[in-house]
């Protein structure tokens, strides 16, 4: 488990927005470690964990793409039914709200989960 900072981009939900964000990061040599993109009422929110936060923010700024930051945890767990339930239950018991969660697997029996929380330090302690 590691504390991380995810970049957040809020923009109009329309074709090409995600492509522009990803292209900007790619041209800057920034790898996307994890991504979550969704929309609500025509507004899109893209959350990204990247290989180089400072370079990503500079590249997005130069492209006139406004971004923010959120504290998060990057958790690697065994990929099996109930793994996320156990983590979420431990955070709930510690009264830690999960603002956003997304995950991926690449085979090999492991899953990587990104948890956006208000207090990553407290969440890290709760998960031990």
Kindly list the domain boundaries of the chain, sorted by start residue.
2-70, 71-127
Cβ partners under 8 Å of residue 3, min gap 6: 71, 72, 73, 74, 120, 121, 124
Say what percent of the chain tops pLDDT 70. 100
- Classify residue 21 by burial, with Cβ atoms within 10 Å: 0-12, 13-18, 19+: buried
pLDDT at 18: 96
Q: Nearest to residue 73, comparing CAs of 91, 46, 89?
A: 91
Mean pLDDT of 91-119: 92
| Top CATH class, 71-127 | alpha beta
Residue 79 has pLDDT above 80, yes or no: yes
In this structure, what token pair is assigned to residue 94? 């510690």
3-state secondary structure of 128: coil
Whole-angstrom distance, CA of residue 116 vs CA of residue 100: 5
Q: How far apart are CA 96 and CA 40, in angstroms?
A: 24
The confidence score (pLDDT) of residue 105 equals: 83
**How many other C-beta atoms are found inside a 10 Å radius of the C-beta of residue 70?**
16
What confidence score (pLDDT) does residue 128 get? Answer: 86
Q: Give the class (CATH, top level) of 2-70.
A: alpha beta
Q: What is the mean pLDDT of the chain?
A: 94
Percentage of residues of the chain with pLDDT beyond 90: 89
């Amino acid at each position: 488990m590691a504390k991380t900072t995810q970049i957040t981009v809020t923009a109009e939900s329309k074709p090409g927005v995600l492509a522009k964000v990803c292209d900007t990061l790619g041209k800057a040599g920034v790898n996307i470690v994890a991504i979550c993109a969704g929309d609500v009422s025509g507004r899109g929110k893209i959350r990204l964990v990247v290989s180089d936060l400072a370079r990503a923010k500079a590249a997005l700024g130069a492209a006139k793409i406004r971004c923010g930051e959120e504290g998060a945890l990057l958790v690697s767990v065994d990929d099996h039914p109930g793994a996320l339930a156990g983590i979420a239950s431990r955070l709930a018991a510690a009264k830690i709200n999960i603002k956003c969660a997304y995950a991926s697997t690449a085979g090999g029996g492991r899953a990587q989960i990104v948890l956006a929380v208000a207090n990553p330090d407290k969440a890290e302690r709760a998960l031990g």
